Amino acid sequence: MNASIRAVARTALYHDLEVVGIRRGYEGLLEGDFVPLTRSSVGGIILHGGTILRTARCEAFMRPGGINAAVSKLKENDIDALVVIGGDGSFRGAKELADRGVKVVGIPGTIDNDMAGTDCTIGFDTACNTALECISKLRDTASSHDRMFIVEVMGRHAGFLALETGVACGAEFILVPELPVDLKAISDKIHYAKQRGKTHSLIVLSEGVMHAAELAEKLKGRCDYDPRIVVLGHLQRGGAPSCFDTVLASRLGSAAIDALIGGRSGVMVGRVKGEVVESPIEIAWTDKRTLDPDMLRLVDMLSI
């Protein structure tokens, strides 16, 4: 997100626009927690993880009174337009503001990668690489000690992170919320692998399916391993961004300002087939992104 904040600020400043940052998202907006953004204040942040503006959930913004108060706060501070970086919850709030006449452009940022209107959201690639680095270390332990590891990654409602990471690390099984769990198929495959001499196994589990401890309990007695569990949790959300994410964030941040200068509002910017595109902001949640069936088939073929 810092790379995107930098791109928004510097593109706006390039066009002689004044820029302010809003700390703690919509909560900071309602409280008037604003800070000027200058060329120097966003210098050196491009490779820093997290966000210099910080973030927070805001229950008040989920009610009409909170949204109307936000509109008033923007007018009081002579803020003409808003760039919102976040997931579909943030975008729903942005759509409410746009419907009330606020000029708004959204930049998709979530490690879940579950928003339509873009092939990839800011943060997804970095989270995948972070998870992959952790799992590669577990592979060494699994093979050395004849272990089966269940690695729980983030993804409450979407399995994109589990699927991408699982394919990259060569997991034998990838369990995602979009598909039912077949415990018999898992145990049968583990038995088959054991018979041909395989001594370790790896399951990548999306948190939206069930907790890793629950899956381990269900697999006990069904396979020839005593499952070990690792929950990566918020490790996946931090750290310096990958090259891909830094470039993506920079392109989308700059494109958001271009959209506002062009008089467009109530839209999101995204990257589709390598090109930066604009879409109605509500497409982020009205259109459903689905897992790539070719990737799912790849898991089945490569994990034999």
Nearest Cα to 1, choosing from 44, 65, 34, 47? 47
Into which CATH architecture does domain 125-237 fall?
3-Layer(aba) Sandwich (3.40)
- pLDDT per residue as tens digits for the range 221-279: 766 677 888 899 888 888 899 999 999 999 999 999 999 999 999 999 999 999 999 99
Whole-model pTM: value is 0.90
Reported as a pLDDT band with limits 50, 70 and 90, residue 197 is low
State how far Cα 173 lies from the chain centre. 22
Per-residue pLDDT, averaged over 120-126, amounts to 95
Question: Looking at the domain that runs over 2-123+241-286, which CATH code has it been given?
Answer: 3.40.50.450
The widest CA-to-CA distance across the chain, in whole angstroms, is: 72
Contacts of 110 (CB under 8 A, 6+ apart): 86, 87, 88, 121, 122, 123, 124
For residue 83 the two structure tokens come to 């760039």
More confidently predicted of 223 and 291: 291
Domains 2-123+241-286 and 125-237 share a fold: yes
- pLDDT per residue as tens digits for the range 128-139: 999 999 888 887
Q: Are strands 267-272 and 103-108 parallel, antiparallel or unpaired?
A: parallel
Query: So which residues are the catalytic ones?
Result: 112
For residue 160 the two structure tokens come to 């994109």
Nearest Cα to 50, choosing from 107, 3, 112? 3
How much is the mean pLDDT over the chain? 90
Nearest Cα to 198, choosing from 177, 225, 221, 217? 225
Reported as a pLDDT band with limits 50, 70 and 90, residue 146 is low
> 10 Å Cβ neighbour count for 222?
15
pLDDT of residue 220: 80
Burial of 150 (0-12, 13-18, 19+ CB in 10 A): buried
The full 3-state SS of the chain, as one line of letters, equals: CHHHHHHHHHHHHHCCCCCEEECCHHHHHHHCCEEECCCCCCCCCCCCCCCCCCCCCCHHHHCHHHHHHHHHHHHHCCCCEEEEEECHHHHHHHHHHHHCCCEEEEEEECCCCCCCCCCCCECHHHHHHHHHHHHHHHHHHHHHHCCEEEEEECCCCCCHHHHHHHHHHCCCEEECCCCCCCHHHHHHHHHHHHHCCCCCEEEEEECCCCCHHHHHHHHCCCCCCCCEEEECHHHHHCCCCCHHHHHHHHHHHHHHHHHHHCCCCCEEEEEECCEEEEEECCHHHHCCCCCCHHHHHHHHHHCC
Domain ranges in the chain? 2-123+241-286, 125-237
| Whole-number CA gyration radius for the chain | 22
Spatial separation of the C-alpha atoms in residues 281 and 106, rounded to whole Å: 7
pLDDT above 80: residue 295 = yes
> 10 Å Cβ neighbour count for 95?
21
Q: Are strands 148-153 and 201-206 parallel, antiparallel or unpaired?
A: parallel
